[in-house]
Amino acid sequence: MKRIEEQTHYEILEVSPDADLKEIQRAYDHAKETFHADSPAIYSLFSEEEMRKIQAAIEEAYRVLMDEALRKSYHQSHSHLIERSSSEKQTEKSVKSSEIKSSLSFTDLSIEVGEMTYRGRSLKQIREKLGIDLKAISAKTKINIKTLELIEEEDLEHLPAMVYLKGFLKAYARALNLDAQKLIEGYFELFKEKGKK
């Protein structure tokens, strides 16, 4: 039982202290979706003030943990807290992995949730935060770099029509472990906005 103010960045995002950037990104997406004014899971539990506190803590945790230098210095200044919680988390983590093992239905479920969609620019941001360069994505997806760049720049003029584009978007999203559907939706919105103009 720890109040929000007492929880470490890792506890706020419910990740282990050795979580990699992908895990942190996913945990952040999940936390953002969960502690959102319209989320049914928080209904009747938190006051507006508490929600603001939690949301601020989530943003702060994400900001620090996604930045290598900030995370390092946070680790140093909070080492006593993190060390302790890391041993606690370890048991929790082993519980979770057994949870996953015994459940077929949860294994193919990614925990990125919600209404949030990805677009080219957010994709680029996530990719850069993960420290993956376009070449690696290109090698993984067999999509040429030029096309990937166009996707990130949201250059609808030079990109193929949505019917053809879909496959590329799907492959790219998967390469980053993101929900492909959300990228496709984001792009649909882009096309729609463009059409209006």
Instruction: Give the interface with other proteins as residue ranges (CB under 8 A).
Output: 1-4, 14, 30-31, 33-35, 39-47, 50, 54, 92, 99, 102-106, 109, 111, 113-114
Q: Which is nearer to other proteins, 38 or 157 (CB)?
A: 38
Nearer to other proteins, 30 or 127 (CB): 30
181: phi then psi, degrees, rounded to nearest 5 = -60, -35
Q: Closest CB to other proteins among 76 and 105? A: 105
Q: Which is nearer to other proteins, 35 or 118 (CB)?
A: 35
Least distance between other proteins and beta carbon 1 (Å): 3
Alpha-carbon dihedral 71, 74, 80, 84, rounded to 10 degrees: -40
- Distance in Å, CB of 75 to other proteins, minimum: 22
Pick from 35, 47, 193: nearest CA to 120:
193
Minimum CB–partner distance for residue 34 and other proteins (Å)? 4
In the bound state with other proteins, the residue whose beta carbon lies nearer, of 111 and 136, is 111
* 4 and 53 Cβ atoms separated by less than 8 Å: yes
Give the shortest CB-78-to-other proteins separation in angstroms: 19
Helical ranges in 35-119 per DSSP H: 48-65, 68-77, 79-101, 104-107
Residue 106 C-beta: closest distance to other proteins, Å: 8
Query: Quick one: 109 exposed, middle or buried, by C-beta within 10 A (0-12, 13-18, 19+)?
Result: exposed
Q: Is 131 left (phi over 0), alpha (psi -120 to 50) or beta?
A: left
